[in-house]
Structure 1
Amino acid sequence: MRRTSQEFIRFVIIGGINTFNYYAVYLLLHMLLGWLYMPSHVIAFLVSFIISFFLNSYFTFKVKPTLAKFLKFPLSQVVNFTVSSLFMYVFIEYFQINSMITPILAVFVALPATFVVTSKIMKKESVSA
């Protein structure tokens, strides 16, 4: 149990770094370049996703990044992307929350489920053929 809690703490730290990366790209595209919020969200998510894979490999779960894990890693982000996208849409369109704030709110909603799925993918050993 202690190992899992330490991993979760590291996951939250890396999540903070990833959130900063995501938010910086999102603001650049949405506010500075005038892109719509959803394309800005998607591009920012993809950029932070790649950074996230390597940081979670080396720091959070302390495993060697492999091509197989990189190819499976998107599965860990399906929950994150789906939940965060849905909540961004709901927060902006139905609750009229500013599109500069919604990405941060959506991250907190998706965090616990994302940790569980990411942990399972990153720590699973590859099966040799």
Structure 2
Amino acid sequence: MTRQMLTFAAIGVLNTGTYYAPYLLFLPHMPYLAAHILATFISMTGSFFLNARFTYRTRPTLRKFLLFPLTNAANFVITTTGVYVLVDLLHFSSRLSPLLASLGAIPVTFVVSRWIMLPKAETAGIA
């Protein structure tokens, strides 16, 4: 499981860039939450295939692909709440807040994605 966590984290760094570049491109043209939502959806597909192949070493299936947004749902709720709190309540920069908010989502996203991507027998060892 340690290899999975490290690989998941490395892919997460790559996926953060995949999210952040479109976010910055959209930001001048729309409200920050709209830019956040659109960038999140763009980065989701790549994250699914990279995690299937490298983190969990499992075959990507349509079922897993359709369930994978649950991992992003957890991430989305945590990061969207974080972005809102950081920008609107704490007056942080809307350019940097998504990066800070994403730190809190990593552990939850890992647990949910592992549950979706691996058969129950393989995840039974998690406590």
Verify same fold: TM over 0.5.
Answer: yes
Aligned-residue identity in percent: 39
Gaps of 5+ in 1: none
Gaps of 5+ in 2: 121-127
RMSD between superposed Cα atoms in Å:
0.9
For residue 3 of structure 2, the aligned residue among 6, 23, 32 is 6
In 2: Cα distance, 1:78 partner to 1:54 partner:
17
Shift of residue 124, structure 1, vs aligned partner: 2.3
In 2: Cα distance, 1:78 partner to 1:28 partner:
23
In 1: Cα distance, 2:97 partner to 2:81 partner:
11
* Residues 1-129 of structure 1: pairs in structure 2 closer than 5 A: 4-31=1-28, 34-124=29-119
In 2: Cα distance, 1:65 partner to 1:46 partner:
18
Map Cα deviations across residues 74-127 of structure 1 (whole Å, 9 max, x no partner). Answer: 1111110000000000000000000000010011011001100101100126xx
TM-score using structure 2 length? 0.92
In 2: Cα distance, 1:87 partner to 1:124 partner:
31
In 1: Cα distance, 2:38 partner to 2:13 partner:
18
TM-score using structure 1 length? 0.90
In 1: Cα distance, 2:114 partner to 2:92 partner:
32
Q: Which runs of 4+ in 1 moved over 6 A?
A: none
